[in-house]
Chains A and B, each alone.
Chain A
Amino acid sequence: MEKAKHIRTVNTAKLQKTIKTGGCGECQTSCQSACKTSCTVGNQACQK
């Protein structure tokens, strides 16, 4: 496949697939982290 000239993909996430692979619930509670007034779930890491 030819190298893309116009697009550089930063990550190859497929969030929809994590419905099946995720949900173990071991991850940190969002608001328990650095912020106590605004949660940004997206900046947590998966514990798996």
Chain B
Amino acid sequence: MDFHKFFLHGTYVLLDVNSGAVHAVDKLVYDIMDIFRGDNDEEVLEQLRTVYSGEELIEAMAELRGLMAQGQLFSSAPEVSPAMFQQEPVVKALCLHVAHDCNLRCHYCFAGTGDFGHDRSLMTPEVGERAVDFILAHSGARRHCEIDFFGGEPLMNMDTVRHVVKYIRQKEALTGKVFKLTLTTNAVLLNPETIQYLNENAISLVLSLDGRRDVHDQMRPNANGRGSWDTAVKNIRAVTASRTDPAYDPRGTYFYVRGTYTARNLDFAEDVLAMADLGFAQLSVEPVVGKDCDYELREEHLPELFRQYELLAKAYLERKRAGNGFDFFHFNVDLDHGPCLPKRLSGCGAGHEYFAVTPQGDLYPCHQFVGREGYRLGSVFTGVENHVLPETFRNTHVLNKPACRECWARFFCSGGCHANAQLVHGTITEPYQIGCELQKKRLECALLVQTELSKDTSQ
């Protein structure tokens, strides 16, 4: 039976997996759901009659049957035809590695402190132009194209960023396409001139900060070994202030302050709250992915990490209700207007809708695969040359992965991160289990948050 139920912070929540319907239920219904299968009322009555009255049980089961009639409980699995995956894929997004170099030496950097295991290098304006041409040539009828300026540290190569943005605006005028631009930065090199440029050019920002000063500085030192927290916070304050100024026209842009937590700060909820206390209201933190290192997250850390997500959900609701709330990316599950099923199956699109481009113009399935042997797919000069891997990525969705097919979270997580799976298991078909467990806990907290917030608005 495709449902999931959980109890958290005094609330009983029931999710119908196939429809995505969420219900707040009482303890009676929660207990009934251990037994109820839609047509076994006698069995429910027999097992629970000593706890609840027959009248209550019959009443609750009638309500459950009402949900079944509405397709909101025990709903049938979606009928996914192979045709959904046979259409010609379109390229939606590129991650441009404009700098394989970085001014920081973060210990957990999957990019090998910026160089991705190779020489430190910068993308030339010409490679940037060819990358734009590549997405234009392969985005089909899709109107929106996305480019993320990434690194290393992209602010180390602002000349190319500026050149590519100018080229994109010219191409937008010629093609009618709309580019959404993002820049992911450690914020250390932000200055008033760059901030003004990024604001004027409608570039969304993902700003890296790990929370408390000591936590951040321990993992994110400058090349000289000194911590980067002071500078990062000063600059993030400057850019977020400029973007919350009433005079700023957001034009569809967003900014997020995002961090990474590791085994060294298992109490990461404190880091999220520390960033909220700094006045940053758009927040996200992610679990580190590491292998054979002292900061990697291990199975024995899970109970504490689960507790931290629960603490975070509680604090999130308390602060929202007190009028000093913040947004936490992973709790923003849109239950009513979320993505369609085709999107939930295509997931992140790595390797078929989404590619990373190295400074030399090489194409990889995503930024995390850059430099991993066997995953180079082609280049912006020659196009995609490996035609096997993109199909493999495309077909490695939740309905084809044994571990995902039966998981209640499959339509929210879309099978998790391929790069993490490959790093840990050497294959993208077997999900990274610790990531899955954290994802499920985060989702429970998100569903609780949305359930509670909907109660507030309905009262």
Contact = CB atoms under 8 A, between A and B. Distances in A.
B174 interface: no
A19 B332 contact: no
Interface residues of B, number: 95
Contacts of A40: 329-330, 333, 412-413, 439, 442-443
B29 interface: yes
B180 A6 contact: no
Nearest to A13: B20
B435 A38 contact: yes
Which of B22, B342, B367, B446 has the most chain A CB within a 10 Å cutoff? B342
B249 interface: no
A42 to B, nearest CB: 3
Given A13-B20, A16-B18, A36-B286, A7 B450 contact: no
Contacts, number: 233
Given A32-B93, A32-B354, A11 B206 contact: no
Contacts of A42: 333-334, 338-339, 344, 411-414, 443, 446
B351 to A, nearest CB: 12
Contacts of A43: 329-334, 338, 412, 446
B24 A10 contact: yes
A18 B21 contact: no
B23 A9 contact: yes
Contact of B22 (A1, A10, A45): A10
B24 A8 contact: yes
A37 B21 contact: no
Given A31-B366, A44-B339, A19 B354 contact: no
Interface string B250-263: 00000010101000
Interface in B65-79: 66-67, 70-72, 75-79
A34 B78 contact: no
A11 B20 contact: yes
Interface in A6-36: 6-16, 18-19, 21-23, 25-36
Interface residues of A, number: 42
A34 B146 contact: no
B339 A41 contact: yes
Contact of A41 (B59, B93, B348, B458): B348
Contacts of B18: 15-16
Contacts of A27: 339, 343
B368 to A, nearest CB: 8
B72 A12 contact: yes
Interface in B361-409: 366-368
Contacts of A30: 347-349, 414
Nearest to A4: B63
B240 interface: no
A31 B354 contact: yes
Given A6-B26, A30-B347, A41-B412, A22 B332 contact: no
Nearest to A41: B414
Contact of A38 (B26, B78, B150, B286): B286
Nearest to B409: A42
B146 A29 contact: yes
Contact of B416 (A7, A8, A16, A38): A38
A22 B206 CA distance: 28
8 contacts: A7-B60, A13-B20, A30-B347, A35-B258, A36-B367, A38-B439, A40-B412, A45-B337
Interface of A: 1, 4-16, 18-19, 21-23, 25-47
What 3 A-B pairs are tightest by C-beta distance, nearest first?
Answer: A22-B340, A42-B412, A18-B340
